[in-house]
């Protein structure tokens, strides 16, 4: 289970809260209050952070509906990160001053405190804090233009039910059997009621797994009572207890008194073995859980409560048997689920025209999450498999589409968007590194080719030494060109598919450049051997360096154009 993804749902708000705490820390006070810093600016800085933090809930809800809000959040993340770096610098300086003060006598320390010199670091610190403050102030003004409001903007969420279409579920047979074994076994817990938790990130299929085991015939025969409650973020002990009671008795309860409904539930479960499913539990308050589960204690031994949650903290509070962690689907299961929803009842083998690149893109977008696979399959449904429309949908930034944003949880959309940003940044960094290496090869080869041509033109039968230098430089340039192609080949696994055919090492332009380098090298060698025999070279003027240069420039320009296209496609994907 990737706990970092779960914890990252409120990472920006947590970062802002952490910054506010650090602004109140002793290290920051020791750096500011004795010196000539603008202390009011520091307070304004903190208040600005709190103001921005107050509208984050609304911003996260709107970022997938309004692209400009998403850009605003990106700018805020960068500003908060830079502010954290600034405070790290302040802490480092405070630590340095503390260590240097410990080595000084008391009289010197008192004098330094009274004199409070305003160093270059202090001036630079003041300037950086002003710059960071004005940056946050600009973002605060932008939030008003974007219409971001303080507080949480409630979004209606479709409650889950216990019903499931088992034919549309793939890759969960092993998890299902493991949970059923836990449910029908009476040896897992010393208590009358065993609490089994299913933990996983949003969209991974926790609810679907719970539905599968809830409706299994073996489970139904094992328990006397079954009930399902969708808890979600709005935890209410009265509502949850009433829903359990209504599910058991099949009657509507209008009573809102917790004592009454709990007593009624106690009578219903007394001496009976039950299975309760509490889906999507968020509440991390141990007292609330302890209050809710009191009526459960009157049931017969072997009763079970299944709880699905994204939070490991929730699981640690409620469980009394080991947690079941749900892992992402395999690539094959993801692709099978996409095809099931995209093609309906059609036989997937009849759609062999689907491109391999489209398949890989679809699997990568799913991240092993069934919820995304179903949503993606729904987008492809009604289109011709393998068509340009398929290709366009799969290479579009689908997380910005309203039809997808309404289906996926907000936290999951945020995680996917953040992951896409990180992946895009890694690709850009790798491309920058590759471009730097290519320019080194280009300049080195070009310089040696020019020098080789110059020595060739200056050489003669009476001066064969120049021809020798020209030959050696041409050989070195050729070896550099070959090494560049080998370097690129190793980075691209030697053979890659390009324009419908397999090319060795590089493109046609690169191969042409290699041939030009070989020809120049051969000409230099021939000329050298003619001159050492005191004979005239029939090829006095060589245009091959110019041809080589043209090939190199053409290669660079064509690659630049291709990279621009690739960057656009990667950014949208």
Query: What average pLDDT does this structure show over 264-292?
Result: 93
Q: Dump pLDDT digits (tens) for 344-401.
A: 766 656 566 787 888 888 888 888 889 888 888 888 887 777 677 777 777 766 655 5
pLDDT-based confidence at residue 21 (cuts at 50, 70, 90): confident
DSSP at 163:
-
Question: Do the beta carbons of residue 448 and residue 476 sit within 8 Å?
Answer: yes
Residue 428's pLDDT band (cuts 50, 70, 90): low
pLDDT at 111: 45
> Is residue 410 predicted with pLDDT exceeding 60?
no
Question: Angle formed by the axes of helices 331-343 and 370-380, to 10°?
Answer: 40
Taking residues 158-171, report their average pLDDT.
89
Residue 219 in this model has a pLDDT that exceeds 80? yes
User: Which of 112-121, 157-166, 280-289 is the least confident region?
Assistant: 112-121
- 144 CB burial (10 A radius; 0-12, 13-18, 19+): exposed
Q: Is the pLDDT of residue 137 over 80?
A: yes
- Average the pLDDT over each of 109-123, 178-192, 354-368 and give the range with the smallest value: 109-123
pTM: 0.57
DSSP string, 236-304: -HHHHHHHHHHHHHTS------HHHHHHHHHHHHTT--EEEEEEEE----HHHHHHHTTGGGGSPTTEE
- The DSSP annotation for 488-552 comes to HHHHTTSEEEETTEEEESS-HHHHHHHHHHHHHHHHHHHHHHHHHTT---S--S--HHHHHHHHH
Average pLDDT of the chain, as a whole number: 76
């Amino acid at each position: 289970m990737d706990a970092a993804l779960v914890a990252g749902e409120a990472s920006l708000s947590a970062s802002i809260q952490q910054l506010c705490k650090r602004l109140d820390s002793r290290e920051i006070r020791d750096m500011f209050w004795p010196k000539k810093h603008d202390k009011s600016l520091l307070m304004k800085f903190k208040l600005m952070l709190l103001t921005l933090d107050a509208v984050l809930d609304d911003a996260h809800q709107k970022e997938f509906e309004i692209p400009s809000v998403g850009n605003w959040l990106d700018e805020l993340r960068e500003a908060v990160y830079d502010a954290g770096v600034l405070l790290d610098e302040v802490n480092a300086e405070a630590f340095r001053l503390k260590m240097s003060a410990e080595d000084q006598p008391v009289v010197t320390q008192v004098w330094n405190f009274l004199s409070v010199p305003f160093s270059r670091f202090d001036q630079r610190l003041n300037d950086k804090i002003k710059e960071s403050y004005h940056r946050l102030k600009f973002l605060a003004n932008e939030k008003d233009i974007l219409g971001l409001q303080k507080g949480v903007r409630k979004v209606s969420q479709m409650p889950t039910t216990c019903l499931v279409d088992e034919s549309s579920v793939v890759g969960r047979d092993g998890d299902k059997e493991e949970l059923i074994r836990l449910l029908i076994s009476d040896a897992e817990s010393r208590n009358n009621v065993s609490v089994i938790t299913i933990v996983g990130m949003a969209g991974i299929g926790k609810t679907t797994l719970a539905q599968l085991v809830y409706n299994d015939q073996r489970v139904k025969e094992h328990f006397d009572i079954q009930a399902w409650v969708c808890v979600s973020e709005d935890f209410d002990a009265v509502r949850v207890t009433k829903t359990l009671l209504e599910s058991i008795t099949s009657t509507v309860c209008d009573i809102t008194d917790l004592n009454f409904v709990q007593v009624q539930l106690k009578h219903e479960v007394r001496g009976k073995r039950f299975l309760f499913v509490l889906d999507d539990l968020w509440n991390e308050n141990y007292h609330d859980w302890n209050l809710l589960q009191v009526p459960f204690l009157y049931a017969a031994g072997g009763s079970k409560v299944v709880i699905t949650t994204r939070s490991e903290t929730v699981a640690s509070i409620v469980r009394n048997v080991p947690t079941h962690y749900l892992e992402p689907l395999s690539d094959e299961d993801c692709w099978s689920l996409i095809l099931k929803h995209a093609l309906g009842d059609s036989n997937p083998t009849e759609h062999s025209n689907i491109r391999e690149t489209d398949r890989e893109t679809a699997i990568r977008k799913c991240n092993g999450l069934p919820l995304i696979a179903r949503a993606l399959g729904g987008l492809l449904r009604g289109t011709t498999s393998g068509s340009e429309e398929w290709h366009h949908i799969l290479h579009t930034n689908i997380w910005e589409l309203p039809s997808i944003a309404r289906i996926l949880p907000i936290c999951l959309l945020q995680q996917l968007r953040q992951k896409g940003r990180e992946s895009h940044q890694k690709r850009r960094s790798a491309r920058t590194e590759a471009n730097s290496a290519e320019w080194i090869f280009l300049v080195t080869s070009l310089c040696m080719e020019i020098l080789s041509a110059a020595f060739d033109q200056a050489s003669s039968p009476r001066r064969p030494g120049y021809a020798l230098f020209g030959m050696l430089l041409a050989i070195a340039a050729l070896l550099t060109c070959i090494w560049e192609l080998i370097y690129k080949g190793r980075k691209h696994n030697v053979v890659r598919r390009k324009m419908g055919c397999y090319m060795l090492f590089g493109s046609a332009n690169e191969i042409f450049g290699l041939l030009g380098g070989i020809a120049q090298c051969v000409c230099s060698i021939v000329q050298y051997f003619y001159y050492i025999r005191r004979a005239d070279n029939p090829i006095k003027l060589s245009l091959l360096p110019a041809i080589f240069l043209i090939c190199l420039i053409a290669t660079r320009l064509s690659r630049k154009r291709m990279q621009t296209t690739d960057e656009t496609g990667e950014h949208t994907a």
